[in-house]
Amino acid sequence: MNLVGKATRVRIYVNEGDRIASQPVDRALVEFLRRENAQGATVLRGIEGFGATGEIHVSHLADIVQRLPIIVEWIDVAERVERLLPRIKEMVPRGLITMDETEIVLCEPHPVRELPRAFTAGDVMSREVISVSRDTPVRRIVELMLGKTYRTVPVVDEGLPVGIITNGDLVQRGGLGVRVDLLRSLGEPEIHSVLERLAQGSKVAGDVMTPRPVTVHVATPLPGVAEVMARRRLKRLPVVDDRGMLVGMVSRVDLLRTAAGGFQRADDEAPREMGLADDTPLSKVMRRDAPVVHPDTPLPEVFQAIIATRLNRALVVDAERRAVGLVTDAELIDRLTPSLRPGALRSLMHRLPFAHPTPEERAAESHARARCAADLMTTDVPTAREDVPLGAAIGIMLKGSHKVLAVVDEENRVVGLVDRADLLHGLVPAS
């Protein structure tokens, strides 16, 4: 995968002799990052330094026992860092962890790590899974989702998955009223008000979960995992062992990242070994009814375009139909005048035209700064030619953690749109 661009760098400062369980701390961290499909980590051994104790540690030839500083440096996409960093903080017995944004200007890796012929769910899943019990309050579940990148929480009973809770479950049965990703776009007082309302209710995980969740075995080959996700249009699946115990979660993004890595193998047979269709062009999987608006499209029409499909976003194109921006439902809520947000949320959640039933909302609209698509859009729009194979398209989409990709012709005019579900569906060979 092409990692050139924005990334996050994590540095973990520890000492020689520190251990996690029976392993040296640096080895335990590197093995953990490798298991979680991190992009890579480097261990640096210092020659001199001191920490909080003030004791200077220095390397000399005559030294027999040393406690020199060690740095584990890890650079990855922000989404994966956000997911794995809490677990790393729990693992490190003592030391210092720093994190900063960095810019990757060159990334020409050696051929991607060897992929076993029988690539399975266990090879790509995330092992650090946050689960809840049947009696966990709905408010607590929402708080867990707000602080994480995932939108699915498994419900377990003595380690066995008995249910799954998604954004949709919380909205339909939990009384949330707004998807968690949209809730993040609201201000702190609004979020607090929603959480307090949930706390006053008595609903728990068992009341809102979808029972008997679809699961995959840890040894399920990658094509089988992809097929289940594509056919059932699921974003995440619990992974279980021989006893049916929850051992991980596998997401659509996990599969796409792994597939993109496989497509970069020097060995031309790598994707076929994985059982995935790598030569399908984007034109075969794209949707041609892409929701589009123009920079001067007024606010109500922008809403109408966004709610027209399940994508919850619309492309902004110029007079030549070239992509110049993207409007998402979350960005729309974030950039709207706060007094207009209640009406906007009603429109988005119920897929209704944007209206202003109260005098206050009508007055607020007359003073709002965001009145058209140009005021709401972001200009970071990934594009790919319609003849590009899926492997290259996946790399483009995941480079910036994008959820959609504009498909263009030879003149860079928009001819379609794909999302992650479309790409995953295209990877599954036709039976």
pLDDT at 244 over 60: yes
Rounded distance, CA 139 to CA 203, Å?
A: 9
E-state strands within 254-317: 292-293, 313-317
The SS3 call for residue 49 is: strand
- The strand pair at 383-385 and 404-408 is best described as parallel
User: What's the one-letter identity of residue 213?
Assistant: P
pLDDT of the residue at 157: 94
pLDDT at 59 over 80: no
Nearest partner of 180 among 144, 204, 211, judged by Cα: 144
Nearest partner of 190 among 174, 202, 208, 176, judged by Cα: 176
Residue 49 CA: distances (Å) to CA of 53, 79, 125? 11, 32, 38
Which one is predicted more confidently, 222 or 356?
A: 222
pLDDT at 135 over 90: yes
DSSP state of 112: P
* Residue range 3-9: mean pLDDT, rounded: 76
Residue 30 CA: distances (Å) to CA of 35, 38, 68, 116? 9, 9, 18, 20
pLDDT of the residue at 268: 43
- 277-327 per-position pLDDT tens digit: 556 788 888 888 888 999 999 877 887 788 777 778 889 999 999 999 998
Rounded distance, CA 262 to CA 119, Å?
A: 11
Residue 400 CA: distances (Å) to CA of 82, 105, 307, 395? 15, 14, 24, 9
Alpha-carbon radius of gyration of the chain: 24
Instruction: Annotate 4-34 with b (16+ C-beta within 10 A) or e (fewer).
Output: eeebbbbebbbbbebebeeebbbebbbebbe
pLDDT at 219 over 80: yes
pLDDT at 146 over 50: yes
pLDDT class of 273 with cuts at 50, 70, 90: very low
- 361-377 per-position pLDDT tens digit: 454 454 455 678 888 88
User: What's the one-letter identity of residue 303?
Assistant: F
* Residue range 424-429: mean pLDDT, rounded: 76
- 62-97 per-position pLDDT tens digit: 444 456 788 999 998 887 888 888 889 988 878 899
Mean pLDDT of the chain: 78
Residue 200 CA: distances (Å) to CA of 137, 172, 193, 197, 330? 10, 18, 11, 5, 27
Helices (H), 209-269: 222-232, 252-263
Considering the entire predicted model, what is its pTM? 0.62
* Residue range 166-175: mean pLDDT, rounded: 85
Domains of the chain: 5-104 (3.30.70.120), 121-273 (3.10.580.10), 283-427 (3.10.580.10)
Torsion of CA 211, 121, 399, 421, to 10 degrees: -50
